[in-house]
Chain A
Amino acid sequence: MSKQPARIALAFALLVSACAGSHVDEPESPLPSDERADYAIFALRCSKCHSLARPLDSGIDDDEYWRRYVERMRRQPASGISLADTVPILRFLRAYSRAQRKRKQAQMEPPADDASAPNARTPRVPGSR
């Protein structure tokens, strides 16, 4: 009997065990603590139907537009997004947009040589697939 299937299964098991130590919701780099709770709700609700890349890379940076966007998603059948959920979701998305805007502005400004240059990097979002 060929040993190849057993080898494939073993390789797969090793891969799974190697990955199982970390968790998808665990921050890779810390978000501010108030944003972390909002992010958790955003990640849980929005990943039900699509990857988180969709909203995070949508390019939306207008608060009013986020409100309509989240409202449209909330009304999707079986979304599981209640009216109460939209508050932390919008709070996170707006904070994320603000950070994005700062990052864009910083990119447009000429590079500063001194160490006091504003650090306007977008916080890295964990598990944002």
Chain B
Amino acid sequence: MSVSRRSVTLFACLLTLGVLLGLFAPRPLRAAEEYNFAGSAQLDYHYVASGPRNQDVPGPSSTFQGFTMEAGLKVAVDISDHLSANVKACYGCHGFDIDMAYFDYRARDEFNLRVGRFSPSFGAFNLRHDPANHMLSDKPLPYDMGRMLRKGDWNNGVLPSPFPSSGVEIGGSHWAGTTLQFDYALYAVTGFKNYNDPHPTDLNFQETHLPYFVGSAVRPATGARLAFTARGSATVDATLGASGMLGSYDLKSELTYVIVGADFALRVQRTAFRFEYLLRRQQFDTQNPDIFKYAIAERGGDFFTKQGAFAEVEQPLSSLFDVTARVDGMLRRGNVSNLAIGSGADAATSLSPLAYRSYVIRETLGLECALERNFRLKGSAEFWQFSYPDSLGQKTALSMHVGAVGSF
């Protein structure tokens, strides 16, 4: 096992610190376990009005048209004032996954030790990734996990959400008076992988969701998040955050990925404006130059960058309706592999449609209708613009979502 000595030392120090803080923290007289079950399910139909790939089956370069189902069941247990546990199983396009299985040991507001499987703190969207907690049928492009058009070309978003991983996270919150909230998080987790490909060129997100969760040879990915929330008045608050993650994803721990992000959210009454920006710098194996679309540059030829951003406004219209408008997009720069990620192949059979610089922009308008408190209908229309044409020469596409989501 090639986990670095420094990481092991860091983990041991954090664990020791947590235990020591816990020993000195005031204890409840009794530990009464309280269970809370929660769950959600969303069925969505995605109709693609244009584009030659809309009849393809899911896979590389395909557009997913049809029904998708996402469901999750969560159990939260408050074991004591200081200890709680969360377990969440979810079902989606990738099959079943354990999205959460962790303990939170909270010595005080400013120090929480989280151990287990969880999505490490990155960005603001992931807290709302459950389909019952966001108004549109799909996620913003930087966080897309397989619902976008031409997803095979792009290998999903910048950081497909959720991104559960096994590890440890230390975090906490501190309030300065009643107007300023400061949050921090530091973590070391298994991180992303691509063990299937002999010459990896990108993260294989599918491997993260396989039942065999062990990251046998990679160093832990490490990261941090800082956020400030300020309350201007009783009905106005704004949050500004910054996140970063660094890891390696190949069996030899030689190929790195760095993801950084910034987020801003403003809330006035129940109107919400959100903006997030993410950038991933992804190193790839250049030992087999034949698999690349372009010649390998001598300087800076061993990585690509993928940027993504979204801005959205959510506006409640009445006790029944909410409207959401969103603009999101991604920009990829760098050499292009002609192999499907995770295929394990070492020889390309066709060219990737991506160019050295490719982008996608999407504009979405959605309406949500609450039939019951726990049951809502979602509808949205999306207009897509790509920098490269498809096989019919089209650079634009129109798609629509109609779905229903229930929660309990």
Contacts and interface: CB of A to CB of B under 8 A. Distances in A.
Interface string A51-62: 111101111101
Interface in B256-311: 265, 267, 269-270, 272
A57 B39 CA distance: 11
Contact of B178 (A23, A53, A76, A82): A82
Contact of B132 (A50, A58, A71, A79): A50
Contacts of B323: 16
A129 B370 contact: yes
B38 A77 contact: no
Interface in A60-77: 60, 62, 64-65, 68-69, 71-72, 75-77
A84 B323 CA distance: 31
B106 interface: yes
B317 A16 contact: yes
B319 A126 contact: yes
Given A51-B132, A68-B78, A75 B112 contact: yes
B235 to A, nearest CB: 6
Interface residues of B, number: 56
A117 interface: no
B254 interface: no
Given A16-B317, A20-B317, A24-B270, A50 B133 contact: yes
A57 B408 contact: yes
B121 interface: yes
Contacts of A65: 34, 36, 78
Given A54-B407, A62-B34, A68-B34, A79 B316 contact: no
A2 interface: no
Given A44-B269, A54-B38, A60-B36, A84 B178 contact: yes
Contacts of A26: 319
Q: Is the interface of B mostly helix, strand, loop or mixed?
A: strand
B127 interface: yes
A52 B178 contact: no
B376 A129 contact: yes
B269 A77 contact: no
Interface string B318-353: 111111000000000000000000000000000000
A25 B270 CA distance: 9
Contacts of A68: 34, 78, 81, 84
Interface string A14-57: 01100111111110100000000000010110011111111011
A56 B38 CA distance: 12
A127 interface: yes
A15 B365 CA distance: 14
A78 interface: yes
A63 B181 CA distance: 26
Given A20-B317, A49-B128, A77 B121 contact: yes
A13 B147 CA distance: 28
Given A54-B38, A129-B376, A22 B173 contact: no
B181 A78 contact: yes
B78 A72 contact: yes
Nearest to B316: A24
Given A69-B36, A80-B181, A83-B175, A129 B317 contact: no
Contacts of B241: 78
A69 B171 CA distance: 19
B137 to A, nearest CB: 15
28 contacts: A16-B323, A19-B320, A24-B317, A24-B318, A25-B270, A48-B267, A49-B133, A50-B128, A50-B132, A50-B133, A51-B373, A51-B374, A52-B373, A53-B407, A54-B132, A57-B373, A68-B84, A72-B76, A72-B78, A75-B112, A76-B127, A78-B181, A78-B227, A79-B173, A80-B237, A82-B231, A127-B316, A129-B370
Interface of B: 32, 34, 36, 38, 76, 78, 81, 84, 106, 109, 112, 121, 124, 127-128, 130, 132-133, 171-173, 175, 178, 181, 183, 185, 225, 227, 229, 231, 234-235, 237, 239, 241, 265, 267, 269-270, 272, 316-323, 365, 367, 370, 373-374, 376, 407-408
Given A79-B229, A80-B267, 12 more contacts: A23-B316, A41-B234, A50-B132, A51-B376, A51-B407, A60-B36, A69-B36, A77-B127, A77-B173, A80-B229, A80-B231, A80-B239
Interface of A: 12, 15-16, 19-26, 28, 41, 43-44, 47-54, 56-60, 62, 64-65, 68-69, 71-72, 75-80, 82-84, 126-129
Rank and list the top 7 A-B pairs by shortest CB-CB distance, nearest first. A24-B316, A19-B317, A77-B183, A19-B318, A68-B78, A53-B373, A22-B318
